[in-house]
Chain A
Amino acid sequence: MPNTHAPNPWMKRIAVALLLLVLGIVAGALISRSITPTVDSSTAAQLQAPHPLQPFRLTYDGVPQLGNDDLRGKWSLLFFGYTHCPDICPATLAELARTYELLAQEPGVLDDTQFIFVSVDPARDTPQTLAAYTDYFNPAFIGVTGDTEQLTALARQMDIQFRRGDGSDEAYNVDHASAILLIDPQVRYHARIKAPHHAQDVHRQFLEIRRQYQPPSS
């Protein structure tokens, strides 16, 4: 009769295997934590190498709306959308307005930061309607648009897509990328802040990216 209390060699092996597994998980977690960038990668992806925006120009009825020079020397938070969007766009702009309020508490930050709403629906959004629209969220916000070709040329550089969705006549939807794009003072596409957006996160990530930013040495 074998003694049932004697350590079963298989049990011992399983116990050792389990212990090793747990150690492995802990080690893995520690390592992955140490190599995780300081910017929260779950909601923001900082680009490995910021890349300069090729010259672009947005015009409406021949009137210039936005070009590379308007972005130079400032941090720009860009969001693409349209004013006939009742759900995602106002929610994102409301979060950006709260981000602005949070940034207002950081000395000097707003002096070189601009918030730009780019409408991908020039058929319905005029510069006037855009001005009224962005003004509601924050008078400092800028609303711009251009023709579809110009918008595509700009959006493509930041891997932003948009296309007319369903709906007829004046009530159609426009599908659009939901990310907030961060352009640095050298007019480089610097980071992409993915949705869902919450002001505290956007605020924290933006400040962190600014801290790590190396201005050009010239």
Chain B
Amino acid sequence: MKSLATLLTLFFLTSSAWASSQHGIEAHDPWVREAPPTARVLAAYLQLHNHGDKMRTLVSVESPSFKRIELHRSAEKDGMATMARVMKIMIPAHGKVSFEPGSLHIMLINPLAPLKSGDKVDLTLHFADGSSLNIRADVRRGGGGTSGMAHHHDPDHPMGMQKESHGDMKKHEHDH
């Protein structure tokens, strides 16, 4: 029994390491800011690490929980809060891109059902090379952190690390 567990652990470690080295993109700490139940637009944040030797380009995101998803960047300039759509996001080889409050975010438009803290949101990130990454984000109440300060870390939910999977999209156990 113990050896089976070890074997499984080994298998998991090697397969995820393989996925990482093969495709190179890792998502850390994906989360969605809980919003008022009537909110038509929400935001998701995460860090994308590219461990590969090639630059990767995020071009779109989809989710079964939202009608439409866009990439946006908020900015603060001359006392004005602005937000602009971003058509693609380049993640340099061996670099990382952070989606965080007050800056880059995944804009989730028209939720099919209200979401609250504790819910999960499945997101599929599509890259320019045709690959994709399935991730599951936690919905949680976010503080301000408009300066990008990450005081949204919840000790009960340590930094998640989700790795890329190719080919058939994993169907998650439950839908919302």
Contact = CB atoms under 8 A, between A and B. Distances in A.
Chain B binds chain A = yes
Interface of A: 81, 83-92, 94-95, 98, 124, 129, 132-133, 135-137, 161, 165-167, 171, 173, 175-179, 194-199
A86 B42 contact: yes
B5 interface: no
Contacts of A94: 141-144
Given A87-B74, A171-B70, A177-B79, A197 B37 contact: no
Nearest to A178: B81
Interface of B: 33, 35-43, 68, 70, 72, 74, 76, 79-85, 101-102, 105, 107-109, 141-147
B110 to A, nearest CB: 8
A176 B74 CA distance: 11
Contacts of B70: 171
B32 to A, nearest CB: 10
B107 A196 contact: no
A91 B142 contact: yes
Q: Closest 5 interchain pairs by CB?
A: A136-B36, A95-B144, A86-B43, A196-B147, A178-B81
Contacts of A98: 143-144
B101 A87 contact: yes
Given A135-B36, A136-B37, 20 more contacts: A81-B81, A85-B81, A86-B39, A86-B43, A86-B107, A87-B101, A89-B81, A90-B39, A91-B33, A91-B102, A94-B142, A98-B144, A129-B38, A133-B39, A165-B83, A171-B41, A171-B109, A173-B84, A195-B146, A198-B147
